[in-house]
Structure 1
Amino acid sequence: MDENNPKNEGDFVEDAKVELTGMAKEGMHHPSTKPVLTGAAVGAIAGGLLPLVTWPIGLAVGAGYMFYKRLRP
């Protein structure tokens, strides 16, 4: 744990594993599922509108960003 950065607690990979497992088991009832799906949708729309970026890339980036923000606000 970095004492200079109190938000960075614990191991990121372990936190991500626990969060993904919870999302997989609880589905839409998990508190992280809806924000991650919303980020994926926004990313897909943005990817469709931007040149040189396709919607699948936008979807992955949007979901990844929201998932990261759920782990490290």
Structure 2
Amino acid sequence: MENKEPQHQDHDLVSDASAEIKGMAKQGLNHPSTKPVLTGAAVGAIAAGILPVVTWPLGLVAGAGFMLYKRLRP
């Protein structure tokens, strides 16, 4: 019988994210992930300002988290 379950890359997502965040903290704007993650944070904060239910800090974190995820798992 064949295993039909999808093969996910997410098994090391937390360790990959931790390493990426540490690299961003050490290298600052020179790190290739810093600018896209900051852009995602800004877009999330602006979008949250437009939506009546979501606060801007939540939007900021969600936008940054989404962009970080997209950098780790394109």
Indicate whether the TM-score tops 0.5. Answer: yes
Identity, % of aligned pairs? 67
- How many matched pairs? 70
Using the alignment, how far apart are the partners of 2:12 and 2:55 within structure 1? Answer: 32
Using the alignment, how far apart are the partners of 1:9 and 1:61 within structure 2? Answer: 18
Using the alignment, how far apart are the partners of 1:53 and 1:13 within structure 2? Answer: 25
Moved over 2 A (4+): none
DSSP 3-state at the match of 1:11:
helix
- Consecutive unaligned residues in structure 1, runs of 5 or more: none
Q: CA deviation at 1:9?
A: 6.9
Q: Which structure 2 residues correspond to residues 1-73 of structure 1 after superposition, within 5 A? A: 5=7, 8=9, 11-73=12-74
Using the alignment, how far apart are the partners of 1:71 and 1:22 within structure 2? Answer: 13
Q: CA deviation at 1:17?
A: 1.3
TM-score normalised by length of structure 1: 0.86
**Residue by residue, what CA displacement relative to the aligned partner does 1:9-52 show, whole Å, maximum 9, x if unpaired?**
76111111110110000000000000000000000000000111
Point out the more displaced range, 8-17 or 28-37.
8-17
Using the alignment, how far apart are the partners of 1:41 and 1:10 within structure 2? Answer: 29
